[in-house]
């Protein structure tokens, strides 16, 4: 047993332990700084059991989870989720073996159903999707395309009697062009439809004396497919991530005294304590995604003890931004922000429903809270100067966080936890400052009053849009707030909390910000200073991106939907932010071409320069399993291009290909076409081609943006 000191008052237990929890659960295994960490076994009172690896209180690594019903999962876990390669065996004997992402079947996998059927092929979000083969117990089989668990696309059905259908399907039935064949060589070719009125075709007999003149194509729908039902499979009673123990609530009560480390982060402050030193449940945003149905209580304390030889954190790496530690000009602002968000998210509220009333979006729906240094009935004492805190449309943003599957506890820990925020080195062109959370999950941007008005004005349409289209590429907003400093300055700082598009373990080697305009759209930095943190622009782009057919169709559809939404809201000046990760930097798909080494022409095979850190990260992350969705962690091919003159919108392809991982999304969606933009358009139109400048009417902007993006992204043939 070793002891690591936490400040001067606390000690962290390290070693093998046996712990009987107040709930009746039992844990035995390795323990470190108040968490299961290492190998351990956890028994729940309802009969569930986990045996395997832990990381800071969550099942991460290889392990086995057993349900009381007899069902088991054995394989890889990540942050409490079944994630990676693993095998699930149901209580009835059904077995799935393959890859998982956040409890859902994703990637390649094989499932054997209890009724004797089996499927092998591709999965997406828990359903058969992509290319796969389904074999029925009676000998029938289907080989071809799937979508959301149904036969959909081009495929072949072969019956045990030798009959077969080759052609297109929709929602489990033949639809469109197709051919039905018999073993004797005769066949029927035509247009298929479940509605007999829309079906037509021609029957071709074989040389056999037996002919099927009385055969009706509708027999395929009425008889042949009757025994070809897709098995739905077993339902999991409860996911392992929902059973994760409530370590915060289990930990011992602190005295409520607030301490701050030298880097500016708070220590010893209980998010679940009320602001008079008492204790109340933390349940403002409902039960958490990783919890067991009970509410969490969060204590912020040093995750690595001072003076301890045990280091749980990864070695420091070069990261964007400057840590806001004591002495930084925005140190107090960061304290105010953290205290305000704790108050907003931790405040009890009504049960959430996705169907919001119109009143929730009212611009007058905002609330002020005073934070005196000595504390008040509803706020804790703090070392900062007195300030006021404003929440805009809090119910809407709480519901948005639920809609985006943001865990309330994790949200607070990311923004208000042990680690201070990081300020990006320079403000954006608009003058706004950007801050990143230490885990890179969230970006906080200061806002002008006009931008706040735009966001509140478009909030109802934004909410309906992101609710309707879960794969939307537009920025995800999680909170809108204001800090008002008291005293002589009376300064107001408005800011919005957003999702960080590049929150990933995968190294981002190149960044592009694309608007589809060209006036001034180039990076002023000399080529020697361009690195992986530099954001390049339209005229710097020297790639086109080839997406797989299904992804390309989904991409085009979503860009159209998002642009229609922004055009209807009179928004312009937005851009597509792209992050590019080279999967194999040493072997582009052209012989004699060197590895990516620069940003120059393709004549010498140059592509982005990769630092030693980037190359190390490339190797480290090449085997990791990460969630894949539109714009997130998407495999693609990047083809090098070259512009032969300044008039070219997109350069000419060179044939030099790289396997890449793409991250992209539509950002800066809060600029409406106001009077200042109209004046800017009028002024610049006298100097430059009006179609080349950024400030144009939203309808023209949307068309130009789409035209450009659909030249940069093409289908991979």
- Residue-wise pLDDT tens digits, 104-119: 888 899 999 888 888 9
Is 336 buried (19+), middle (13-18) or exposed (0-12) by CB count in 10 A?
Answer: buried
Average pLDDT over every residue of 417-445: 80
pLDDT at 289 over 80: no
User: Alpha carbon of 665 to those of 480, 513, 555, 579, 702: distances in Å?
Assistant: 20, 10, 11, 9, 15
Locate 716 and state its tokens.
Answer: 């991979």
The predicted pLDDT at position 525 comes to 78
Residue 68, SS3?
coil
pLDDT of 13-46, one tens digit each?
567 888 888 778 888 898 887 788 899 999 888 8
* DSSP calls for 455-517: HHHHHHHHHHHHHH-TT--BPPEEEEEEEEE-SSS--EEEEEEEE-TT-SSS---EEEEE-S-
Which of residues 696 and 710 earns the better pLDDT score?
710
Q: What pLDDT was estimated at residue 462? A: 96
Model pTM score: 0.56
What are the pLDDT digits (tens) for 676-698? 655 654 555 555 555 555 667 88
* Average confidence (pLDDT) over 336-359: 85
For residue 400, pLDDT beyond 90: yes
Mean pLDDT of the chain: 77
Taking residues 633-652, report their average pLDDT: 85
Instruction: Give the whole-number percent of the chain exceeding pLDDT 90.
Output: 27
What is residue 599's predicted lDDT score, i.e. its pLDDT? 46
Strand, helix or coil for residue 561: helix
Per-residue pLDDT of 202-249, as tens digits, reads 777 776 555 556 777 777 877 778 778 888 778 887 888 887 776 655
List domains and CATH numbers for the chain: 14-91 (2.20.110.10), 125-234 (2.20.110), 323-500 (3.30.800.10), 505-584+626-716 (3.30.810.10)
Beta strands 543-547 and 713-715 are: parallel
Average pLDDT over residues 349-365: 86
Confidence check: pLDDT of 322 > 90: no
Among positive and negative, which fits the CA dihedral 287, 290, 296, 299? Answer: negative
Cα 455 to Cα 324, 389, 391, distances in angstroms:
27, 19, 14
Closest by alpha carbon to 240, among 30, 59, 35? Answer: 59
pLDDT at position 627 over 80: no
Q: What angle do CA 477, 480, 482 make, to 5 degrees?
A: 155
Strands 510-514 vs 535-536: parallel, antiparallel or unpaired: parallel
């Amino acid at each position: 047993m070793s002891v690591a000191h936490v400040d001067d008052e606390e000690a962290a237990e390290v070693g093998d332990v046996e712990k009987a929890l107040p709930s009746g659960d039992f844990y035995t295994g390795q323990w470190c700084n108040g968490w299961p960490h290492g190998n351990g076994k956890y028994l729940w009172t309802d009969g569930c059991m986990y045996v395997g690896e832990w990381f800071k209180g969550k099942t991460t690594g290889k392990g086995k989870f057993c349900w009381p019903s007899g069902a088991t999962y054995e394989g890889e876990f990540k942050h409490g989720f079944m994630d990676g390669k693993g095998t699930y065996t149901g209580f009835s004997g059904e077995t799935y073996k393959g890859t998982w992402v956040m409890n859902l079947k994703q990637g390649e996998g094989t499932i054997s159903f209890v009724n004797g059927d089996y499927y092998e092929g591709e999965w997406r979000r828990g359903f058969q999707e992509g290319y796969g083969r389904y074999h029925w117990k009676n000998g029938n089989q289907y080989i071809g395309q799937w979508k959301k668990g149904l036969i959909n696309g081009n495929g072949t059905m072969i019956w045990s009697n030798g009959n077969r259908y080759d052609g297109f399907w929709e929602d489990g039935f033949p639809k469109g062009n197709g051919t039905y064949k018999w073993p004797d060589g005769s066949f029927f070719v035509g247009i298929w439809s479940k509605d007999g009125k829309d079906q037509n075709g021609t029957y071709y007999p074989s040389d056999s004396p037996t002919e099927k003149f009385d055969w009706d194509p509708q027999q395929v729908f009425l008889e042949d497919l009757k025994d070809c039902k897709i098995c739905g499979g077993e339902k999991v009673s409860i996911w392992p991530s929902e059973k994760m123990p409530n370590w915060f609530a289990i930990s011992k009560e602190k005295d409520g005294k607030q301490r701050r480390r030298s880097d500016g982060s708070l220590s010893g402050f209980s998010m679940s304590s009320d602001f008079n030193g008492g204790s109340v449940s933390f349940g403002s945003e409902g039960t958490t995604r990783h919890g067991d149905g009970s509410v969490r209580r969060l204590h912020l304390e040093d995750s690595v003890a001072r003076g301890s030889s045990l280091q749980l954190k990864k070695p420091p790496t070069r990261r964007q931004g400057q840590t806001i530690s004591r002495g930084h000009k925005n140190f107090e602002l960061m304290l105010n922000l953290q205290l305000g968000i704790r108050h907003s998210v931790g405040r009890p509220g009504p049960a959430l429903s996705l169907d919001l009333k119109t009143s929730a979006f009212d611009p007058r729906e905002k609330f002020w809270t005073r934070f005196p240094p000595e504390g008040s009935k509803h706020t804790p004492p703090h070392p900062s100067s007195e300030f006021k805190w404003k929440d805009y449309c809090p119910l809407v943003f709480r519901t948005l966080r639920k809609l985006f599957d943001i865990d309330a506890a994790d949200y607070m820990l990311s923004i208000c936890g042990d680690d201070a925020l990081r300020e990006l080195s320079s403000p954006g062109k608009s003058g706004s400052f950007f801050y990143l959370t230490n885990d890179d999950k969230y970006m906080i941007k200061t806002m002008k009053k006009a931008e706040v008005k735009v966001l509140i004005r478009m909030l109802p349409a934004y909410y309906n849009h992101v609710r309707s289209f879960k794969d939307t590429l537009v920025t995800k907003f999680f909170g809108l707030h204001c800090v008002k400093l008291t005293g002589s300055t009376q300064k107001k700082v408005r800011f919005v909390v957003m999702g960080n598009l590049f929150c990933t373990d995968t190294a981002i080697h190149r960044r592009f910000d694309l608007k589809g305009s060209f006036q001034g759209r180039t990076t002023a930095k000399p080529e020697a200073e361009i690195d992986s943190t530099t954001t390049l622009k339209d005229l710097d782009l020297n790639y086109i991106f080839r997406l797989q057919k299904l992804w390309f169709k989904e991409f085009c559809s979503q860009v159209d939907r998002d642009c229609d939404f922004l055009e209807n809201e009179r928004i312009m000046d937005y851009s597509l932010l792209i992050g590019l990760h080279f999967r194999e930097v040493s072997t582009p798909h052209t012989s004699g071409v060197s590895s990516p080494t620069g940003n120059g022409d393709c004549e010498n095979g140059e592509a982005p320069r990769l630092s030693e850190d980037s190359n190390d990260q490339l190797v480290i992350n090449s085997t990791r399993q990460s969630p894949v969705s539109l714009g997130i962690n998407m495999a693609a091919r990047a083809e090098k291009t070259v512009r032969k003159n300044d008039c070219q919108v997109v350069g000419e392809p060179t044939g030099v290909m790289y396997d890449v991982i793409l991250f992209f999304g539509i950002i800066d969606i809060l600029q409406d076409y106001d009077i200042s933009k109209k004046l800017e358009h009028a002024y610049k139109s006298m100097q430059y081609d009006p179609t080349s400048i950024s400030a144009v009417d939203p309808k023209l902007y949307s068309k130009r943006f789409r035209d450009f993006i659909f030249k940069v992204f093409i289908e991979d043939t």
